[in-house]
Amino acid sequence: MLTRLLLGVLTLLAILVASFFLQRIAPGGPFDLERDMPEAARQALIREWGLDRPVPEQLGLYLKGLCRFPPDLKRSMVQPDYTVWEIVGPRLQVSASLGFAALCIALVLGIPLGVLAAVHDGKMADRVTMLVALTGVAVPAFVLGPLLKWIFALELGWLPESRWVGPANMVLPAFTLAALPLATAARLVRSEMGTILRGDVVRTARSQGLSERRVVFVHALPGALVPVIPWLGPATASLVTGSVVVERIFDIPGLGTTFIDGAFNRDYTLVMGTVIVYSILLILMNLLTDGLLVLLDPRARSARS
């Protein structure tokens, strides 16, 4: 666990350094966009932000700021009235709740769908479920989102079409975002469950005369969930990616949009701030995953105790 944590910190550092350098070697800078700014003022800004110093030195300074408590994410270069945290914080809240809702939907619907398909292997329920799952993989969020919006907001008028003001506004974006991980979870569970249902453990359970429901849920399900856990890391990454699109479609002030805007405006500090938040999120997710695996895997557990 400790090595894992160390590795996480190392990864974080690597990502930081990489994004830092990528920013600096790219042509252009944060103050190029304002055309009418006098050259002298631009130079003054560049000096003020230390952008004229060697890149490693800039990086050192930035990292030093991070080591403070609370970590100093600096001010936004483009909106200097705000600190990066003031911009990122509230948006993180929005994105996190959206992402969390989507992940919950994906797991709560995807796992039972996978189980259902595996139990009805080859039959109608299986085919239908897997078609749904494949559709989830093949219909991208930027098609599904507008489609859902069209049906449920514009045609039926059941749900608000966009923006982020109440729980009802969350429904469509969360489902849009959940489609891909839902489909993936269903496929993962189906394939593992299928293997387990054909395996020895289930044969033993059945030979005990246990009800099919008990066989599936008590004996087969725990094993079928195992591959879902290591997948949670990559799933979070794909949620983060997907959120960029979903936020745009549904007009949600989230972190993905912040990142894109920051990138467009060459707002170095804002981009770095977002990158840091995302990385920490992903590292935490991976740690959580590892912890869950240890908890679930009987071998790992007894090795520890």
Partner 1 sequence: MSRAKRVSAPVLDLVWDDLRLRFPGQKNPVLDGVGLRLEAGRTLGLLGESGSGKSLSTLAALGLLPRSAIHVGGTIRLGDTDLLSLDARARRRLLGATLGAVFQDPSTALNPYLTVGFQMSEGLRRIDGIPGREAREICLEALETCRIREPRRALRSRPHELSGGEKQRVLIAMATVRHPDFLLADEPTTALDVATRGAVLEVLLERGHDLGMGLLLVSHDIFLLGECVEQMAVMYAGRIVESGPTRRLLTSPRHPYTRGLLAAAPRLEGPRGRLPEIPGHPPAVDERLPGCPFAPRCSLALPSCAQERPAWVSLGEEGGFACPVTETEG
Partner 2 sequence: MSGAVSLPIRKSWTLRVSFAFLLLVGGLALATPYLDLADPDAQNLELGPTAPSTEHWFGTDPLGRDLLSRTLYGARISLLVGLVGTAVAVGIGVLYGMLAGWWGGRADLLMMRVVDLLYGLPYMFFVIVLMVWFGRSMINLFIGLGAVSWLTMARIVRGQVLSLRGRDYVLAARATGLPTRVILRKHILPNIAAPVLVYATLTVPRVMLEEAFLSFLGLGVQPPAASWGSLISEGAVLFREYPWLVLVPGAILSVTLLALNFFGDGLRDRMAAEDHPA
Q: Which of 27, 38, 167, 298 binds partner 2 (CB under 8 A)?
A: 27
Identity of the residue, 6 or 218, whose beta carbon is nearer to partner 2 in the bound complex: 6
Q: Which of 222, 241, 280, 284 binds partner 2 (CB under 8 A)?
A: 241
Q: At its nearest, how many Å lie between partner 2 and the CB of residue 282?
A: 6
Contact between residue 8 and residue 42 where contact means Cβ atoms under 8 Å apart: no
Residue 249 in the binding site for partner 2 (CB under 8 A): yes
Instruction: Candidates 37-45, 76-84, 138-146, 204-212: pick the segment binding partner 2 (CB under 8 A).
Output: 138-146
Instruction: Candidates 38-46, 65-73, 140-148, 214-222: pick the segment binding partner 2 (CB under 8 A).
Output: 140-148
Type of residue at 131: L
Residue 191 in the binding site for partner 2 (CB under 8 A): no
Q: At its nearest, how many Å lie between partner 1 and the CB of residue 207?
A: 4
Binding site for partner 2 (CB under 8 A): 11, 15, 19, 22-23, 26-28, 134-135, 137-140, 142-143, 146-147, 149-150, 154, 233-234, 236-238, 240-241, 244-245, 248-249, 259-260, 263-264, 266, 271, 275, 278, 282, 286
